[in-house]
Amino acid sequence: MTSKLISALTASALLLAGASNAAAATKTAVFAGGCFWSMEKGFESTPGVISAVSGYSGGASTRPTYENHTGHLEAVKVTYDPAKISYARLVDSYYHHIDPTDPYGQICDKGPSYKLAVFTADASERAVAEAARAKYEKQLRAKITVVTRAAVAFYNAEDYHQDYYKKNPVAYERYRIGCGRPQALRAVWGGQEAR
């Protein structure tokens, strides 16, 4: 082999190793916060978050669909860079994108699949989620309805739900404004809500 070919192969191997290490450095977390369209939009605008995927989690069925996801919560799987955002800050971001005191769902989306939950992967994440719950219960002087649940399987929602706010910006804004989401979050967070 020529030295140029060896150099090219070495450079390619280093690039692939770097890409693999970067991918290994990311983590995922799952949150249920009402309509997954809004959660996806909120997390994707959070610094340190790489992506958010709409889906279903928490139920028994292994093939949930939008038409039939009984037992599952609408949720988002967030991929993030822990060097840029800690899990604790991610949980704080989650809280500021929801009304954590709503016992029936989230804003205008009511019912079992819109309930609030932080799905935790281990004892460390559970401790962070529980500390956030206690902190916001004290800060808001209200009962927090976010539950901490052990992480279980996450199922991606249908393609038409992914990046809905990007693909259908007018329809999404009509839903968001019509639902009263900005006003509801402002009422809870007094201007400290995430945007």
The C-alpha angle with vertex 29 and arms to 188 and 56, in degrees rounded to 5, equals: 85
- Catalytic one among 35, 49, 76, 144? 35
- Alpha carbon of 67 to those of 9, 36, 53, 56: distances in Å? 50, 15, 18, 12
Is residue 35 annotated as part of the catalytic site, yes or no?
yes
The neighbour count for residue 22, using CB atoms within 10 Å, is 11
Catalytic residues: 35
